[in-house]
Amino acid sequence: MKLIVNLPALNEEKNIGKTIKRIPKSFKGISEVLIQVIDDGSTDKTVEVAKKAGAHIVISHGRNLGLGKMFSTMRDSAVRCGADIIVNIDADGQFNPNDIQKVIDPIISGKADIVSADRFSKNSAKDIPVIKDKLNRIGAWLVGKSLGYPVADLTCGFRAHNKEAILKLNTPTGFTYTQETIIDAIGKNLRILWIPIDVTYHTSRKSRVVKTIWKYVNNSARVIIKAFRDIRPMKFFGWPGIILIGLSTLTFVLFLDRYLPEMKLEANRNYLFTSIALFLIGLQFVIFALIADMVKNSRTLTEELLYKNRLKSFGKDE
C-alpha cells in the first residue's frame, strides 16, 4: 500500500523542515511512503525548505487560496500518485509524526474509511486555550447529537483517509474544512474512527485561521446548521413542523373549551387565530421537510455520479 503524508503549509519555513524530518520513513503495512507539501502562497522560504528537507512532492498555489482549495489540490495530486491512504498532518509540528501509525492502522485493517486524531476524549491538549477547548467540545457534541453519530473531535486536522473516502468527499468551502469533511463523511455513511493522541499547542503562536472567537463561533454555527439542514432535512424541518402543529392542536382545544359553553366567538377568537396561524406555519415546515428530502436524494445521486467521474479521471473506473 502507498501512503502519502500531506502537509498543508503557509509561511512555515521555521517549522516545516523539522516536521518533515520527523516523519518516519516506513510504517507497518505500508510499502511506500511519500511526503507531499501543499504550499498556499507562502511569501517566505517554505517551498525551498520543504524540498531541502526531503519532501517528494511540493505544489505551490502561487497565492493564498485557503484550506478548502488546499484540500482539493491534495486530493487530486495524491490520487494521481496512486495513494491508497492519505494522511493530513499540520506542518507546524504540534502533532507527533510517530502517531501516524496509530491513525492508519484502522484503515489498513479495513475497520475505517477515515481516522481522526482525538485531542479531547482522554484529556485536554497541552497548552490549548481554555475557550478553544470548550468550544471544540461543545461543537463536537452538538454535531454528534444533531446527526446521530458520536463525534469526539470535529476540528482536528490530523487525519487519515482511504482512497474511496477522499474521492467521495465534497470539496470544502473554507477554513472550516475540518468540520465540513467530517459532517460530509457522516452524511455519506463513511466509517469514521477517532484515536486519542497527545498534542502540544504553541503558546506563542497565533492562529492564522481563527482571528477572533466570535468569527470562529459564527462560522462554526453556520456550518453545523447547514449540515443539519442538508444531511437530516426531515429532522431539521419536520420536527419544528410537528411541534407547531401540536401547539396548534392544543390551542384549538383550549379555544373549544372556552367557546362551547357560551358560544361566544368574540371573546375567544384570539385562540382560534393563534391555532390557525400555528397550524399553517407548521404545515409549511412539513412541506419544506418533504421538499428538502427530495433535494437531498437528488444531491446524493449527483454526488455518486461525481464520485464515479473522479474514478474515471484517475483511470480507476469500476
Looking at the fold, whether 166 and 28 belong to one and the same domain comes out as yes
Per the structure block, which three cell numbers stand in for 291?
421538499
**Are 8 and 57 in contact, with CB atoms under 8 Å apart?**
no
- The residue out of 216, 231, 246 marking a domain boundary is 231
The structural domain count of the chain equals: 2
Looking at the fold, whether 41 and 159 belong to one and the same domain comes out as yes
Q: Structural domain of residue 281, as residue ranges?
A: 233-313
Q: Residue 38 class from Cβ within 10 Å (0-12 exposed, 13-18 middle, 19+ buried)?
A: buried
Asked whether residue 318 is assigned to any structural domain, the reply reads no
Classify strands 85-88 and 57-60 as parallel, antiparallel or unpaired. unpaired
pLDDT in tens, the chain (318 residues): 999 999 999 999 999 999 999 999 999 999 999 999 999 999 999 999 999 999 999 999 988 888 888 888 998 899 889 999 999 999 988 899 999 999 999 999 999 999 999 988 776 666 677 777 788 888 888 888 888 889 999 888 899 999 999 999 887 776 577 888 898 899 899 999 999 988 877 655 555 555 566 776 777 787 778 778 888 899 999 999 999 999 999 999 999 998 888 888 887 889 999 999 999 999 999 999 999 999 888 888 888 888 888 777 765 544
